[in-house]
Amino acid sequence: MNEAGGESLAVVVTGPQGSGKSTLAALLAPRLGAALLDLDTATADLTAVIGDLLGVEDLDDPVLARATRDARYAAIIAVAEENLRLGLSVVLVAPFTAERRDPTAWSALAARLEGAGGRPSLVWLEIDAVAVEERIRRRRAGRDAPRLAREGGVSGLDLAAPRVPHIRADAGQAPEALVGPVLERVLGGSVRGDVPSVS
């Protein structure tokens, strides 16, 4: 329970690169009085150090991903658990690719978050490849340059919907328009056993 006597929430915001995960999460967190835990913000500097040691600049490089993925996710999940044990809600932002593809991996994550005192829900930002590429080109972030330079651009992104119960949000809409409906679903706890849609 949080300070206000309500249930602590653990909202996992996921979606492809460029779908607006960080923007939506930054809008959700203050409305929930939640700690915002963004994988990139929390671990990018250390990941870059490891990339330098490995001679890899592309953060999507499979060699770098294999070397850092488990530790990066362990870091934000551990911080989430600490906050939940203190009665604080959390909003986690990351691709969570394994957890959305594999029900066993999602169950393991959900069990950890529940064990720390939170009610987990997964929010999926759905977007098509054309919109993703347009957004990535428009934001001109340095981390996107290697992906755009590769043959095929963003074609390698996993755009498939999660195989676990989730709240679907149309990333084609403005994040401000999604906050209210997503909050209703998260606060209503209607995520278990169904796949509701926010449109």
- Listed in sequence order, the residues at least 6 apart from 184 whose beta carbon sits closer than 8 Å to its beta carbon are none
Give the tens place of pLDDT for each residue, 7-41. 899 999 999 888 899 999 999 999 999 999 999 99
pLDDT at 142: 54
* More confidently predicted of 128 and 120: 120
The 10s digit of each residue's pLDDT in 70-100 is 999 999 999 999 999 999 999 999 999 999 9
Pick from 13-27, 49-63, 174-188: least confident: 49-63
Q: Considering the chain, what percentage of its residues have pLDDT values greater than 90?
A: 54
The answer to whether residues 129 and 137 touch, using CB atoms and an 8 Å cutoff, is no
Q: What is the pLDDT of residues 144-173, one digit of tens each?
A: 555 555 555 555 677 888 999 999 999 989
Question: What is the predicted pLDDT for the residue at 113?
Answer: 98
The reported pTM is 0.82
Alpha helices in 140-193 (DSSP H): 145-149, 175-188
Burial of 72 (0-12, 13-18, 19+ CB in 10 A): buried
Look at residue 134 in the predicted model and tell me its pLDDT.
75
Block residue for tokens 């001679």: 55
pLDDT at residue 39, as a whole number: 95
Q: Are 163 and 103 in contact (CB under 8 A)?
A: yes
